[in-house]
């Protein structure tokens, strides 16, 4: 075993572990690289250390300075522990949508956490990014790391992750599979592996199906860290400078359900407890390996551990409440899905007359619930809850000035598998006539009204069933 003289020397040097049962029947050797072996528990410790050392070297971060970053969690953890060790103040801007475990870990190192929950595009003055930039301008000695555009991000992987993979496979790696968030990992490690192998190593980008990197609609997903989200009101889809598209040979798009299934299975077959983005990478790697031979060696980078997601992907209650399958919970009572009505959609900015005409042509009754959603070019899945603005009815639309002007706020979110006797439903206060959003695989596929919940069993049989 290695001995380190400081926590910083512990960053990097993660092992390769061969998949046995999960890769049964496949011809190539498949190895995972569990990046939670880093001191902060993720691949992002490498990037944080590299960016911080560069900032010290070029004078943008000086003794007594403040390290600032906008992050979905893991980069914040990396900066938090490194700043603690080196005696810098650190301030992390993030959203409460990220795993609670990551927020708690950041705070544990003594870092200040600024939670920003306004759902606005990047250049809006209230966005995470704008607030962090304002903080840096107003704080003497503050340095904003900007991982999306910082060359130190990919460099970390060019100088450490890539060489480790090459050495630990004795130069036999033929395929490298990684998810793409900022693109730092795949760009840095991928470039190194291509250079050292004279272009022989193929680099595969694994990404959530909604990510705009793989041609998705840019909508939200449940897998943290990987993929590229585009705010529905963003005027441009700006990709990170850290992402080097030339390095990526192929992409594999994976939906949330398959990624969740993959990590749940991996824990049970190989005893390896990995996070959600690891699931995306595993699905892509096993799919890639199907077409390869005994001469091939596939290396899959697993960004973080499943311990961070025990309350979500590995939690039956969460799976049921978001409409993902995999839960062992079994309800005898009628479920939400049985009383739900299939979702009808209009877009918030759609011309009112067009929306009314379309609903009339589809024979949608006056009082039928219609969801008002943000526009998404080439929508690939049903809307994510964050894309739902609220609900309306054809009757309300006819007397409104705009679609947006007729919107009522939506009520609770309920997975199709939740029993109607479940407190999640009985705790629902329908006094204001609100409408619940019904989720299947985390996407809004149906609506539920209090009237439908209270249907007599016989009448319920006639209700439109969502799945
Ligand atoms: N998975 C997780 C859990 C992450 O935190 C990140 C970093 N955002 C990634 C994948 C993607 O890594 P990268 O930013 O290097 O592309």
* Dist CA 410 CA 292 (whole Å): 48
Structure tokens at 364: 């949608």
CATH of the domain at 377: 3.10.580.10
Q: DSSP code of 239?
A: P
Tell me: do 310 and 340 sit in the same domain.
no
Task: Domain of residue 286: give its range.
Answer: 1-314
Pocket of ligand 1, candidates 277, 279, 308: which has the most ligand atoms within 8 Å of its Cβ, to mutate? 277
Atom of ligand 1 nearest to the CA of 180: 16
* Dist CA 361 CA 254 (whole Å): 35
Atom of ligand 1 nearest to the CA of 278: 1
Alpha helical stretches, state H, 139-234: 151-156, 162-168, 184-196
Flag whether 412 is in a domain.
Answer: yes
Q: Are 437 and 444 in contact (CB under 8 A)?
A: yes
Name the pairing type of β-strands 443-449 and 341-342: antiparallel
Gap from CA of 234 to ligand 1 centroid (Å): 22
Flag whether 416 is in a domain.
Answer: yes
Q: CB neighbours of 107 closer than 8 A, spacing ≥ 6?
A: 113
For atom 4 of ligand 1, the residue with the nearest CA is: 225
Instruction: Give me the residue label for tokens 């479940």.
Output: 422
Instruction: Give me the residue label for tokens 């011309």.
Output: 351
Tell me: do 295 and 360 sit in the same domain.
no
Tell me: do 263 and 370 sit in the same domain.
no
The residues that bridge with 298 in the sheet, in sequence order, are: 30, 175
The active-site residue out of 44, 102, 194, 221 is 44
Gap from CA of 42 to ligand 1 centroid (Å): 9
Tell me: do 96 and 219 sit in the same domain.
yes
Tell me: do 263 and 408 sit in the same domain.
no
Gap from CA of 180 to ligand 1 centroid (Å): 6
Flag whether 319 is in a domain.
Answer: no
Tell me: do 385 and 289 sit in the same domain.
no
Tell me: do 372 and 430 sit in the same domain.
yes
In three-state secondary structure terms, 120 is coil
Q: Are 111 and 29 in contact (CB under 8 A)?
A: no
Asked which of 258, 279, 314 is the last residue of a domain, the reply is: 314
Gap from CA of 43 to ligand 1 centroid (Å): 7
The residues that bridge with 446 in the sheet, in sequence order, are: 342, 438
CATH of the domain at 283: 3.40.50.1100
Structure tokens at 19: 């998949």
Atom of ligand 1 nearest to the CA of 243: 16
Look up 102 and say whether it is catalytic. no
How many structural domains are present in the chain? 2
For atom 11 of ligand 1, the residue with the nearest CA is: 181
Flag whether 80 is in a domain.
Answer: yes
Neighbours of 380 (CB within 10 A): 16
Flag whether 320 is in a domain.
Answer: no
Flag whether 402 is in a domain.
Answer: yes
Pocket of ligand 1, candidates 45, 182, 300, 305: which has the most ligand atoms within 8 Å of its Cβ, to mutate? 182
Flag whether 327 is in a domain.
Answer: no
Instruction: Give me the residue label for tokens 């969690």.
Output: 73
Tell me: do 174 and 287 sit in the same domain.
yes
Tell me: do 192 and 239 sit in the same domain.
yes
Cross-sheet strand order for the sheet of 297-302 = 17-18, 29-34, 297-302, 175-179, 202-208, 250-254
Tell me: do 368 and 402 sit in the same domain.
yes
Ordered per-residue pLDDT tens for the chain, 467 residues: 789 999 999 999 999 999 999 999 999 999 999 999 999 999 999 999 999 999 999 999 999 999 999 998 999 999 999 999 999 999 999 998 889 999 999 999 999 999 998 888 988 999 999 999 999 999 999 999 999 999 999 999 999 999 999 999 999 999 999 999 999 999 999 999 999 999 999 999 999 999 999 999 999 999 999 999 999 999 889 999 999 999 999 999 999 999 999 999 999 999 999 999 999 999 999 999 999 999 999 999 999 999 999 999 999 999 999 999 877 666 677 899 999 999 999 999 999 999 999 999 999 999 999 999 999 988 999 999 999 999 999 999 999 999 999 999 999 999 998 988 887 787 787 666 789 999 999 999 999 998 888 887 666 655 554 44
Instruction: Give me the residue label for tokens 């340095």.
Output: 143
Please state, in angstroms and as integers, the Cα–Cα distance from residue 203 to each residue in 133, 164, 250, 308, 435, following that order. 34, 16, 7, 27, 46
Asked which of 314, 348, 366 is the last residue of a domain, the reply is: 314
Cross-sheet strand order for the sheet of 89-94 = 112-115, 89-94, 66-70, 142-144
The residues that bridge with 70 in the sheet, in sequence order, are: 93
pTM score of the predicted model = 0.95
Name the pairing type of β-strands 29-34 and 388-392: unpaired
Tell me: do 197 and 233 sit in the same domain.
yes
CB burial string 447-467: b at 16+ within 10 A, e below:
bbbbebbebeeeebeebebbe
């Amino acid at each position: 075993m290695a001995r380190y003289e400081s926590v910083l020397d512990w960053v990097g040097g993660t092992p390769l572990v061969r998949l046995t049962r999960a890769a049964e029947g496949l011809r190539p050797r498949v190895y995972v690289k569990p990046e939670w072996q880093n001191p902060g528990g993720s691949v992002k410790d490498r990037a944080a250390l590299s960016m911080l050392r560069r900032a010290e070297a070029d004078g943008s971060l000086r003794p007594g300075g403040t390290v600032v970053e906008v992050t979905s969690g893991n980069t914040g953890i990396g900066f938090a522990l490194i700043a603690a060790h080196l005696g810098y103040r650190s301030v992390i801007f993030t959203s409460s949508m990220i795993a609670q475990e990551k927020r708690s870990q950041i705070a544990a190192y003594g870092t200040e956490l600024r939670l920003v929950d306004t759902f606005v595009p990047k250049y809006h003055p209230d966005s995470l990014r704008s607030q962090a930039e304002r903080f840096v301008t107003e704080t003497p000695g503050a340095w904003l790391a900007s991982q999306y555009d910082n060359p130190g991000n990919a460099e970390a992987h060019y100088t450490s992750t890539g060489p480790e993979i090459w050495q630990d496979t004795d130069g036999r790696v033929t395929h490298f599979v990684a998810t793409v968030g900022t693109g730092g990992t795949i760009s840095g490690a991928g470039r190194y592996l291509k250079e050292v192998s004279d272009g022989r190593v193929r680099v595969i980008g694994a990404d959530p199906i909604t990510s705009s990197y793989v041609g998705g609609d840019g909508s939200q997903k449940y897998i943290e860290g990987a993929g590229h989200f585009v705010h529905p009101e963003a005027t441009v889809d700006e990709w990170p400078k850290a992402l080097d598209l030339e390095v990526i040979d192929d992409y594999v798009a994976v939906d949330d359900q398959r990624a969740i299934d993959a990590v749940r299975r991996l824990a049970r077959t190989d005893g390896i407890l990995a996070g959600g983005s690891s699931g995306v990478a595993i699905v892509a790697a096993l799919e890639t390996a199907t077409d390869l031979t005994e001469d091939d060696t596939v290396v899959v980078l697993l960004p973080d551990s499943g311990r961070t997601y025990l309350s979500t992907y590995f939690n039956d209650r969460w799976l049921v409440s978001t409409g993902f399958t995999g839960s062992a919970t079994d309800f005898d009572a009628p479920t939400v899905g049985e009383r739900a009505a299939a979702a009808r959609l209009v877009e918030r900015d759609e011309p009112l007359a067009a929306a009314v005409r379309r609903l009339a042509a589809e024979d949608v009754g006056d009082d039928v619930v219609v969801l008002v959603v943000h526009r998404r070019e080439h929508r690939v899945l049903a809307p994510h809850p964050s894309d739902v603005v609220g609900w309306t009815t054809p009757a309300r639309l006819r007397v409104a000035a705009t679609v947006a002007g007729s919107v009522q706020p939506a009520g609770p979110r309920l997975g199709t598998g939740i029993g109607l006797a479940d407190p999640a439903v009985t705790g629902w206060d329908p006094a204001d006539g609100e409408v619940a959003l019904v989720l299947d695989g985390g996407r809004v596929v149906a609506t539920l009204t209090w009237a439908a919940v209270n249907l007599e069993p016989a009448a319920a049989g006639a209700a439109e069933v969502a799945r």
